[in-house]
Structure 1
Amino acid sequence: MSTGALELPLVAVVGPTGSGKSELALQLAERFNGEAINADSMQFYRGMDIGTAKLPPEQRRGIPHHLMDFLSVREDTTVAAFQTMARAAIADVRSRGKLPILVGGSGLYARAALDILEFPGTDPAVRTALEDELESAGLAAMLARLTAVDPVSAARISDGKRVVRALEVHELTGRPFSSFMPVRQYVTSTVQIGLDGNRAELHRRLAARVETMVSDGLLDEVASLIPEGLRDGRTAHKALGYQQFLRVVDGTSTVARATEETIVATRQFARRQLTWFRADPRVQWLDWAQPDLFDAAAALVAQPAKGAADA
């Protein structure tokens, strides 16, 4: 193929869990000399391998995978921090003449990497002063103050916490909080490929996937992470499967019950993922079961890409 990797777009493979994103990303990486950049927020954690369906290194076909295993289960990150790391990884991959392929189903994280999306900072002193003012002056007075500097935000929000946040952002940046609202505009030329298919088949896949995780040792993995601080962090212990099997460790549930609860929760999560990605009209959907899936995806990657301003 004559098209060089540097001329190709940033590729994002998105969709619900269990739809085959990892495999398609590997195939595209092999075809286009690419590297994978993880956008599954639970695969950030070291040791959370079975329950997150993390692709083992020996199954990655020599394709580098970035932004995996950089957090302990005690730690947390933010979408803003991920945005910085993801864009640095994208730039690094491109600097070596490779195609960056973002892959994962964590919708907000994927969007933070792909779109013009700013995250204004915070200042504890400013936040505390505004909270004290809210307590003394009342919500109506704070809303009136917000209306004077940011009528768009004032018309959208009504609870004290969000009013304080909007005022904090204005005080720190001099810009209205509404100016930071996300827009569907890519930072760079991008192709988003979404995988979807028959819903009954997805349910079957997810059930089989959870059952395989259990037979592969999910309970032992959960138990082994407790001394590492699984219960101590704000996020890791809430992951699908981990919260259910922690109850098995505690003796308040059974493997059978935890397995069924995880299957149900995973189906619900997949539904939310589809809702999120379906709301983005730029995603180009393919059926995971179509015989020419790889060729169809490769054609999308190779087509003339829309730039950031055209997306």
Structure 2
Amino acid sequence: MGKSSRKKTRDTAAPAEGGVGPRQPCPCGSGRRYKACHGAADGPPQAFVARPFEGLASESDLIALRELVPAASAPLRLKGSDRAVRLCTLLPGAAPAMVREDGAVWLGLQVQHNFGDPARDLGAVLEKALTAEAGVVGLTDAPGEGPRLQDLIEDAPLDITVHDGFAFWIDDVEEQTPAMLAALEQANGAVNPTARLAGVDAAYWTNVGPKEHLRWVMPEPEDELLSALAKLHVQGKDALVEGGRLVGMFRAHGLLVPVWDLPVGTGAEVLEAPTAAFATDLAEVLAAGAELTSEERSARSGLANRQVTIR
């Protein structure tokens, strides 16, 4: 009698094109495998939205503030209300929102929960905060149907302030206790110097110690953008500064984010002119839309395969 196999039966079927395999990370960002999250029969009731901030004037910057920038804020204007709302990258304890003593609402982008559609999560938290007393406001369950962020705010480019640290957390607090200041000092210790470039949209320089990077959230369709970047690479126009190079890219909330490595000591200011020139060259190549040469196809394949981590 042959020995019975001890190998467990596994689902080896390949996912459909554009789909997610059962053992792959769930694209909602929960950190769980797809089969245990949105791929489960009783998975989260809220559908995953690949491009949650689509249509907003500051879509690219919203993605950068949610995924890349440690400390930044921007005022939001509510539809039909003059209530003060401040969008923040991160709030104390990663709180989804805080209602301040003066009634202002602070809305956090970098939060621990993710129910599949960050825009709906933000809308639910903001709607809840607008009727709450002073203190922390959050979600314990998926918000279900309801307004998304786009439904609640006036759509206009964000007036973003990138902060050196989190001192803005307590800029409206009169009595700053030693415990409060100690917590602030600890939070500031994790902040890498970051600056938003003024000449182009959603491009952020950062110094991570041994390296400097430029991470640029681009709204163009991915296939067209990859082809255009490949053309500029072959033309030798993608280095930005001497010693810099386009090392790869990652995807965040439906958009592509190219990443450049920069020589230590570059800083943000010297990137203004070359990034503006690169943006002009990129727009021209995108508008031309010519077929790729064999060299450009090879460059495109290399770019597509060079995935880098977000942080």
The question of a shared fold, defined as TM-score above 0.5 by the shorter chain, is answered with: no
TM-score (norm 2): 0.25
Structure with the larger RCO, 1 or 2 (CA within 8 Å, 6+ apart): 1
More strand by share: 2
Q: TM (normalized to structure 1)?
A: 0.25
